[in-house]
Amino acid sequence: MNAIDPLIHDASAARHARAGETLTGAGMLVQVLADEGVDTIFGYSGGAILPTYDAVFVHNREEKAAGRPGMPLIVPANEQGAGFMAAGYARASGRVGVALVTSGPGATNLVTPIRDCMADSVPIVAICGQVPVPAIGSDAFQEAPVSATMSAVAKHVFLVTDPTRLEATVRTAFEVARTGRPGPVVIDVPKDVQNWRGVFDGGSRLAIPGYRQRLARLHGARLPDAACADFFRLLAQSRRPLLYAGGGVINGNAAAAVRDFALELGIPVVTTLMGIGCFDTRHELSLHMLGMHGAAYANYAVDDCDFLIAVGARFDDRVAGVPGRFARHARHIAHFDVDASEINKVKPVQFHHVGLLADAFTRLRDRARDYGFRADWSDWRAHCAALKAAHPMNYDRASPLIQPHYVVEEINRIARGAAIITTGVGQHQMWAAQYFDFSAPRQWLTSGSMGTMGFGLPAAIGAQFAHPDRLVIDVDGDASIRMNLGELETVTTYGLPVKVVVLNNFGDGMVRQWQKLFFMGRMSGSDKSLHKKDFVRAAQADGFEYAVRLDRKADVPRVIGEFMACPGPAFLEVVIDPDAGVYPMIPPGQTCEQMVTGDWIVSRGSGTPRPPDPSEMF
């Protein structure tokens, strides 16, 4: 790396076919997107990004003439939709999603998706137009301080004021987005930089020595034999080991390695909300989701285990509400992660490893074979099976009203664990997490850490572009889908076979549940029973030929069967019991001993929580 030259030129790489050509900055940008394997762009145009939009058009015209698909540019209803589409694409595919928007409000409309991706470690590259370099800071038309705004919420932000660095910046942005702990990278590109003409290098990157050195250490951090021996020493002392798998297992493409390790040794597995799908929920070793709205048996298993093996999980407040009481009987905790800052951040651990998760667990499985490691955990597995039998998920199955759990069960019966499920945020999100089966990673797409309402529909669109032949279902709530309802038209504009289910309880169901439990039933701003939205007519107006309202329990199997069999876009509004709650529920700042299981799930504790104090979170 040359400290004087800000660019790296890889002499060993094959010469790019277009190296040496004179291109506009916009043309270089689009060529790098093509080189990075981008096959879909989500974005909304505007004055400051027009040169790049034109370059996309020219590129696609040339690709079409050559018989290649190019990079379709998908236009949403607004830029927030574009950001969530890029996120849905990235979450479903594991590849970097791309959003392309204009300056000012176009860029600021991406703030929420960028933060959402950062919070859930999702790799996207957001390219924003900007006013010309001389006008920056002058409050020019549609100018916004993108670097200042986005730097607080993105993994990294690049403002390109030197056009000779544009090509290298775009290439480096993809590198940063996808490597290490993945995340969103923003490139702010002034219009004059897009219009500049220069020589295309074909392989240059920015010199970012500190980042690449950290990456090299991460990739080189193989689990040494001594650490393997220490781990198996702790495991040998255990009678009740439990794997606690988080979103990092999926983001790090480590699901197969973790699954193989669990199966090799016969260790039960719980997952976080973001880890759902990293282990087949139908397997006998699966205890499904733990945490605030996790299965009672999953939380009890965590409480009972004596060795907790955390993998790609961060002991967040939705799981470890009271860190000192979480996994209270565990004599030892081991923590595996790619991010050193997560180790001992919330919960002290006795063993840790910072490195690539797939490598670590492949090595542990191999070492177990080499050591001939065997342990008899049959009593513990029987205990976990007994917990599942004694405290199963359940609801009011005799109610004359449509229960949302029943709707999810019926969809799941047809999908059989193979569908890609997206959600908004709220009660419907938790019912979907609790009652759907997932056979593989990247089938469960939801806004976890940020909890962003309006995520589900655009994420489903992005996922469908990532997997055109897969069944993609957005399970949404009436309040959440309103946030990005305009994207219904995007579904039909592009003829996507996305299935949209709205569980309508006429209000902000999760907020109302909290208001009932903790605010003496005062429904401040959460009751929408007088709102006039006709969702079916809205869907029909946006081109859905199948748009149905379901309000009779007896019709549930038939209507859901028709809905799922529809070959194209399909919309289903289901009027559910407005008083249906999400249970189990561990109130904030409390433990599974205070877990509320409702009327239909058997509890082994008192189930009598105290009201949250003012410092405790929603």
Catalytic residue numbers, as ranges: 79, 141-142, 191, 510
Nearby residues of 590 by Cβ (< 8 Å), 6 or more positions away: 321, 322, 609, 610
Beta bridge partners, 188, equal 128, 159
Instruction: Scan for tokens 């309000």, then name that residue.
Output: 551
Task: Kindly report the three-state secondary structure assignment for every residue of 303-365.
Answer: HHCCEEEEECCCCCCCCCCCHHHCCCCCCEEEEEECCHHHCCCCCCCCEEEECCHHHHHHHHH
End-to-end CA distance of the chain: 48
Query: Max Cα separation, the chain?
Result: 74
Stated length of the chain: 618
Instruction: Scan for tokens 């959440």, then name that residue.
Output: 480
Q: Residue 536 CA to chain centroid, in angstroms? A: 28
Q: Sheet harboring 97-101: ordered strands across?
A: 73-74, 41-44, 97-101, 124-130, 185-190, 156-159
Sign of the CA dihedral running 534, 539, 540, 542: positive
SS3 445: strand
Beta bridge partners, 101, equal 44, 128
Contact 560, 553 (CB under 8 A): no
Strands 41-44 and 97-101: parallel
Nearby residues of 588 by Cβ (< 8 Å), 6 or more positions away: 292, 317, 321, 612, 616, 617, 618
Token pair belonging to 9: 């030129």
φ and ψ at 487, to 5 degrees? -75, -5
DSSP state of 585: B
SS3 545: coil
DSSP state of 279: S
Instruction: Scan for tokens 């709707």, then name that residue.
Output: 407
Contact 282, 578 (CB under 8 A): no
Cα distance between residue 486 and residue 492, in whole Å: 11
Give the other-Cβ count within 10 Å of 100's Cβ. 31
DSSP state of 294: S
DSSP string, 490-519: HHHHTT---EEEEEE-SB-HHHHHHHHHHS
Instruction: Scan for tokens 């009481």, then name that residue.
Output: 325
Tell me how far CA of residue 608 lies from CA of 270, 429, 511, 588, 616, in angstroms.
Answer: 25, 25, 20, 13, 17
Q: Specify burial of residue 148 (Cβ count, 10 A radius: 0-12, 13-18, 19+).
A: exposed
Nearby residues of 171 by Cβ (< 8 Å), 6 or more positions away: 32, 35, 36, 203, 204, 205
Cα distance between residue 259 and residue 239, in whole Å: 20
Cα distance between residue 343 and residue 354, in whole Å: 8
Token pair belonging to 406: 């029943």
